[in-house]
Amino acid sequence: MKKRLREIALLIEGEVDGDGDIVITGASGIKEAREGDLTFLANTKYAHLLASTKAAAVVVEKGWKITTDKPLIRVSNPSLAFSMLIELFGPKKITFPPGIHKLALVSKEAKIGTGVSVGPFAVVEEGAEVGDRTVIRSGVYIGHESRVGSDCHIHPNVTIRERCVIGSRVIIHGGSVIGSDGFGYVAVEGLHQKIPQIGRVVIEDDVEIGANVTIDRARFDKTIIRKGTKIDNLVQIAHNCDIGENTIVVAQVGISGSTSIGKNVILAGQVGVVGHVRIGDNTIIGAKGGVSKNIPSNSYYIGIPAMDAKQFKKIYAAYVRLPALVARIKELEEKLAGPGGQTVEDAETKND
């Protein structure tokens, strides 16, 4: 694929700033770029990389002041423009032809839309529905009476249990399990007796779920992931959780039962949230944070247990100076004790 820079600018609705006649032969990240590649700058803080990149030209944001001798294409959103370019210059996309593979097992009592692809060794059970143009890859299991919307992509070896509801344009990566039983027991004479988990999982439109994620079905009613939310790999979402719209759940986060997360929230990697609490809209929980109570909207919390980030930083600043603080206390004690006096540490040492 070869195109002149000015042709590409037209495709991504940008304006050339420099020589529009140069020929572009590929697209790549700014560090990996080779000669002839077009690259992009997502953030001016990486502008120093322009000096070393081998790229032939760069996509940048309109209005940025950029010092470089490379031709630019100026657009309103470089990351977005670049995503469009990749479709053009990237490797040919793998497609999965419509049709039910002869080694798939689709119940006669399942409803399959038009243009659906069902891969080998996939199972679609009785009463399940699959929307138009959805791709069900090999080894996927779709349980009884579950519904998957249109234009979804369910990657290999995903398990979707019975009576779950998946919206449209949902992507679920390999190995994830949707609708496993909630973790609930009642103590009967000292033994843990299983509580039936008869609810469902509902995943709304435009959600993406990473690889080897687990989302448990509700005890009653539903566990719900609302539209536009993106979930990274190895995340655990327990029974009866309600995850708001456009929320970001980074890898290895765990959310306990009946917890509710707002819209536009970010839970960074390895965060844990206890059960039965609410995190408000637009809140960010920093990596590894442990949420043990309700958190208001528009907050930034970090730490275990998680607290307001400003408070955490003040405490942490003192925490790292603890050895010095101990020395200062000792010095104060010595001054007050006067010559020959005994400080607390002297006494402690003697008691050992």
For the segment 10-49, give every residue that binds a copy of itself (CB under 8 A). 28-29, 31-32
Pick from 181, 281, 308, 346 the residue near a copy of itself by CB under 8 A: 181
Cβ at position 21, least distance to a copy of itself in Å: 25
Q: Distance (Å, rounded) from C-alpha 267 to C-alpha 40?
A: 28
Query: Is the previous residue joined to 156 through a cis bond, with omega within 30 degrees of 0?
Result: no
Q: Is 252 in the site for a copy of itself (CB under 8 A)?
A: yes
- Binding span for a copy of itself by CB under 8 A among 17-25, 64-72, 109-117, 133-141: 133-141
- Cβ neighbors of 85 (< 8 A, separation 6 or more) are 8, 11, 12, 27, 38, 59
In angstroms, give the least distance from the CB of 38 to a copy of itself.
Answer: 12
Residue 300 DSSP one-character state: E
Bridge partners of residue 145, in order along the sequence:
none
Binder of a copy of itself out of 25, 115, 183, 346 (CB under 8 A): 183
Decide if residue 62 touches a copy of itself (CB under 8 A).
no
Distance of closest approach, residue 282 Cβ to a copy of itself, in angstroms? 11
Stretch touching a copy of itself by CB under 8 A, among 7-15, 57-65, 110-118, 251-259: 251-259
Strands 153-154, 185-188: pairing is unpaired
Contacts of residue 199, defined as CB under 8 A and 6 or more positions apart, other chains included, come to: 182, 217, 218, 219, 220, 221, 222, 223, 239, 240
218 alpha carbon, distance to own chain's centre: 22
Handedness of CA 167, 173, 179, 185 (dihedral sign): negative
Q: Which two tokens stand for residue 153?
A: 């992509």
Q: Does 320 interact with a copy of itself (rule: CB under 8 A)?
A: yes
**Per CB under 8 A, does 347 bind a copy of itself?**
no
Please say which residue, 89 or 131, places its beta carbon nearer to a copy of itself: 89
By the rule CB under 8 A, 301 interacts with a copy of itself: no
Does 79 contact a copy of itself by CB under 8 A?
Answer: yes
CA angle 196, 200, 201 (to 5 degrees): 130
Q: Tokens 């080694």 map to which residue?
A: 103
Length of the chain: 352
Q: Is 80 in the site for a copy of itself (CB under 8 A)?
A: yes
Q: Is 99 a binder of a copy of itself (CB under 8 A)?
A: no
CB distance 154 to 148 below 8 Å: yes
* Cβ-Cβ contacts under 8 Å for 271 (sequence gap 6 or more): 250, 253, 254, 285, 286, 287, 288, 289, 290, 291
For residue 209, give both structure tokens.
Answer: 């779920």
Catalytic residue among 101, 144, 155, 239: 239
Shortest reach from residue 65's CB to a copy of itself, in Å: 22
Q: How far is the CB of 115 from a copy of itself (least distance, A)?
A: 20
What is the Cα–Cα distance from 16 to 62, expressed in whole angstroms? 11
Instruction: Give me 200's structure tokens.
Output: 């469902």
Among 323, 338, 339, 340, binds a copy of itself (CB under 8 A): 323
β-bridge mates for residue 119, sequence order: none
- Active site includes 144? no
- String of contacts with a copy of itself for each residue 193-232, x by CB under 8 A: xxxx-x-------x-x-xxxxx-x--xxx------x-x-x
Nearer to a copy of itself, 74 or 155 (CB): 155
Letters for 253-282 (x = contact with a copy of itself by CB under 8 A, - = none) are -x-x-------x----xx-x-x--------
With contacts defined by CB under 8 A, name the span among 5-13, 17-25, 64-72, 242-250 that binds a copy of itself: 242-250
Q: Report in angstroms how near the CB of residue 70 gets to a copy of itself at its nearest.
A: 18
Is 147 a binding residue for a copy of itself by CB under 8 A? The answer is: no
Q: Which of 19, 281, 333, 346 binds a copy of itself (CB under 8 A)?
A: 333
Q: Which amino acid is at 54?
A: K
Is 133 a binder of a copy of itself (CB under 8 A)?
Answer: no
CB 161 within 8 A of CB 124: no
Cite the active site residues.
Answer: 239
